[in-house]
Amino acid sequence: MPLIKDGELIDDPWLRVADDQDLPDGPVIVSLERWREAADDVVAHNGPLGVVLASDQSPDLIAEDLGRFDLVALDFPAFTDGRAYSYARLLRERLGFKGEVRAVGNVLRDQVAFMVRCGFDAFDMADANAAEAFKQALAEVSVTYQPAGDARRPAMALRQG
């Protein structure tokens, strides 16, 4: 799937590895289940490490291990399941995660601007032509009214200078 990061379509250097596959060298993303069962083996692999959390798996489950991860992928199984929005804010604001927060699954153009506000910075998109639509979606919201994970200044702060 195409990856959009920082508003640009890029080649994804990360490989999502199934629980029964050997870990290759390089950046890998493993499931929470694999992390829990074989953390020592996963950490010993040669390359950056990421973990994917299902929509019913809170980042609190990996809070003590966050320093080991360069990427946390949050799954959107359906556009009606918004738990990953809250999880992204939890990762950024409460847990202080500075790595990549990636949206995977049912990632829609209409939700991208809100995802960025919550702390997502990468999007695994189903459509290779999504980069331009992604940029348009971000430009559609020019003023915000509340602070959020993207550090944009809300309207009241802009008025006060």
Q: What's the CATH code of the domain at 123?
A: 3.20.20.70
How many domains, in total, are found in the chain? 1
pLDDT tens digits along 76-135: 998 889 999 999 999 999 999 999 999 999 888 888 888 888 999 999 877 767 767 776
Query: Taking a C-beta distance cutoff of 8 angstroms, is the pair 137, 109 a contact?
Result: yes
Which residues, other chains included, contact 86 with Cβ-Cβ below 8 Å and sequence gap of 6+? 118
- Give the whole-angstrom CA distance, residue 63 versus residue 105: 22
Query: Taking a C-beta distance cutoff of 8 angstroms, is the pair 147, 119 a contact?
Result: no
- Give the whole-angstrom CA distance, residue 155 versus residue 107: 28
| Residue span of the structural domain in which 12 resides | 3-159
Percent of the residues in the chain that have a pLDDT greater than 90, as a whole number? 57
Nearest to 5 by CA among 126, 135, 145, 153: 135
